[in-house]
């Protein structure tokens, strides 16, 4: 019980990874749910390399609706965090709070697309066989693959909403710049539109360096998974969690030690090359210079106790002024806060989603 409480509430990455392999009840028995692979041919990466084909796995809820011109009018794109998959949005809590009848993204009304980002889950990734010969993708490549899935695979060229959490939130900023006319509304959650630096890049280098210097890594050509690097991964739990939740989950030295050991054991189940690419893929992230290109109404939602996107940096107050129709919301810490992992608790932030959908609908009607 100790382990599950903390892993779900504070270090939700492990629960999300497990969910990728498990089924869960649909929001409504009458709502179609699909899990599909889409193949993209001749994919050019931003590092200059090319693969003859890549696979993007995705899940959908609902049914696309088209107007008289054949344009889909009810599509929503949801993008997950660094260590997750599209199924991060299919937890019971997400289904109840977002997709149930009458909820903000009622799956009887919307066509919801949830890809596994390139390099993760069922999508093409280093552990499929290429290992470190897999192209060193960046966030821009993840976005491009998702765009190709929508336009070429699902024939969706317009989105009612793009919403992303953590890494997906960062990619939402980039989406608004790259495709400024494609979405009616944008909602980046738990992110900041600045390049990786300071504490955020520092802790990532802890994990990257641990993998590259693991005695068993062998430049990525291992036959047995290296495991020593995983002893650094609990930093992810520390940096994404809330101190009070962690103290409650591990109130004494022995329970905290058991929690650390359990977190390391979970990390050792992850392919080291995949994890390396996860954390290195933010190399091309820096939306700050082009924020003025964003045209859709944008609500950026952050959490005061989120150490990854530290409120005391004052980044958002300045950055949001560059977004023509942008608004920043900082949700204060409470007795029920979960730090960065508040992103997995839509009951906290969905009122702002409702307001964004209303505001963007009014903007479209003008």
| C-alpha distances in Å from residue 174, one per residue of 156, 170, 300 | 19, 7, 13
The token pair at 237 is: 């739990």
Across residues 60-65, what is the average pLDDT? 98
pLDDT classification of 364: cutoffs 50, 70, 90? confident
Which residues, 6+ apart, have CB-to-CB distance to 188 below 8 Å? 163, 164, 168, 169, 170, 172, 173, 298, 300, 301
pLDDT of residue 21: 36
pLDDT of residue 276: 98
The model's pLDDT over 248-265, given as tens digits with 9 standing for 90+, comes to 999 999 999 999 999 999
Burial class of residue 5 in the structure, from the number of CB atoms within 10 Å of its CB (0-12 exposed, 13-18 middle, 19+ buried): middle
pLDDT of residue 336: 82
pLDDT of residue 365: 82
DSSP secondary-structure letter at 96? I
Across residues 70-85, what is the average pLDDT? 96
pLDDT of residue 8: 33
Instruction: Supply angle C-alpha 211, 216, 219, rounded to 5.
Output: 65
Say yes or no to pLDDT of 72 above 90. Answer: yes
DSSP secondary-structure letter at 98? I
Mean pLDDT across the chain: 92
DSSP secondary-structure letter at 183? B
Of all residues in the chain, the percent with pLDDT exceeding 70 is: 92
Across residues 136-151, what is the average pLDDT? 98
13-22, 108-117, 134-143: range with lowest mean pLDDT: 13-22
- Using a CB cutoff of 8 Å and minimum separation of 24, what contacts does 265-268 make? 266/7, 266/14, 267/230, 267/233, 267/234, 268/225, 268/227, 268/230
H-helix segments, the chain = 2-9, 13-19, 92-94, 139-148, 167-178, 198-212, 234-240, 243-249, 253-267, 272-280, 315-319, 346-365
7-11, 31-35, 171-175, 185-189: range with lowest mean pLDDT: 7-11
Say yes or no to pLDDT of 271 above 90. Answer: yes
Across residues 116-122, what is the average pLDDT? 98
Say yes or no to pLDDT of 13 above 60. Answer: no
pLDDT classification of 2: cutoffs 50, 70, 90? very low
Give the global pTM.
0.92
- Do the Cβ atoms of 292 and 323 come closer than 8 Å? yes
The model's pLDDT over 189-224, given as tens digits with 9 standing for 90+, comes to 999 999 999 999 999 999 999 999 999 999 999 999
Residues facing residue 114 across a β-bridge: 59
The model's pLDDT over 158-172, given as tens digits with 9 standing for 90+, comes to 999 999 999 999 999
pLDDT of residue 29: 55
3-state secondary structure 145-161: HHHHHHHHHCCCCCECE
pLDDT of residue 366: 78
β-strand pairing of 33-44 with 50-61:
antiparallel
DSSP secondary-structure letter at 314? -
Domains along the sequence of the chain with CATH = 2-365 (3.40.50.1820)
- Do the Cβ atoms of 127 and 44 come closer than 8 Å? no
The model's pLDDT over 16-46, given as tens digits with 9 standing for 90+, comes to 333 333 333 444 557 899 999 999 999 999 9
The token pair at 254 is: 């022995």
pLDDT of residue 181: 96
């Amino acid at each position: 019980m100790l382990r599950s409480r903390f892993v779900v509430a504070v270090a939700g990455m492990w629960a999300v990874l497990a969910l990728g392999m498990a089924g869960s009840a649909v929001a409504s028995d009458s709502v179609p749910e699909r899990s599909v692979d889409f193949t993209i041919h001749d994919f050019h990466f931003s590092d200059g390399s090319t693969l003859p084909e890549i696979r993007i796995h995705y899940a959908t809820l609902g049914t696309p609706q088209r107007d008289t011109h054949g344009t889909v009018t009810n599509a929503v794109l949801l993008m997950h965090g660094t260590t997750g998959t599209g199924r991060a949005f299919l937890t019971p809590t997400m289904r109840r709070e977002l997709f149930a009848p009458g909820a903000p993204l009622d799956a009887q009304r919307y066509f919801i697309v949830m890809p596994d980002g390139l390099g993760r889950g069922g999508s093409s990734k280093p552990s499929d066989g290429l290992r470190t010969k897999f192209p060193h993708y960046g966030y821009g490549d993840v976005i491009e693959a998702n765009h190709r899935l929508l336009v070429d695979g699902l024939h969706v060229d317009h989105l009612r909403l793009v919403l992303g959490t953590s890494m997906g939130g960062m990619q939402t900023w980039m989406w608004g710049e790259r495709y400024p006319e494609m979405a009616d509304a944008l909602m980046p959650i738990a992110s900041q539109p600045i390049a990786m630096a300071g504490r955020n890049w520092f802790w990532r280098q802890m994990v990257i360096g641990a993998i590259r210097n693991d005695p068993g890594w062998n430049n990525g050509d291992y036959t047995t998974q290296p495991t020593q690097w995983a002893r650094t991964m609990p930093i992810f739990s520390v940096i994404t969690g809330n101190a009070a939740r962690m103290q409650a989950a591990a109130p004494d030295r022995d329970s905290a030690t058991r929690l650390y050991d359990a977190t390391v054991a979970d990390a050792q189940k992850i392919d080291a090359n995949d994890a390396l690419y996860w954390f290195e893929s933010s190399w091309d992230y820096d939306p700050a210079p082009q924020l003025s290109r964003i045209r859709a109404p944008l609500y950026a939602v952050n959490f005061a106790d989120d150490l990854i996107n530290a409120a005391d940096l004052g980044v958002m107050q300045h950055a949001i002024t560059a977004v023509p129709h942008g608004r920043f919301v900082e949700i204060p810490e409470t007795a029920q806060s979960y730090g960065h992992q508040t992103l997995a608790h839509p009951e906290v932030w969905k009122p702002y989603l409702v307001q964004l959908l209303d505001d963007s609908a009014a903007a479209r009607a003008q």
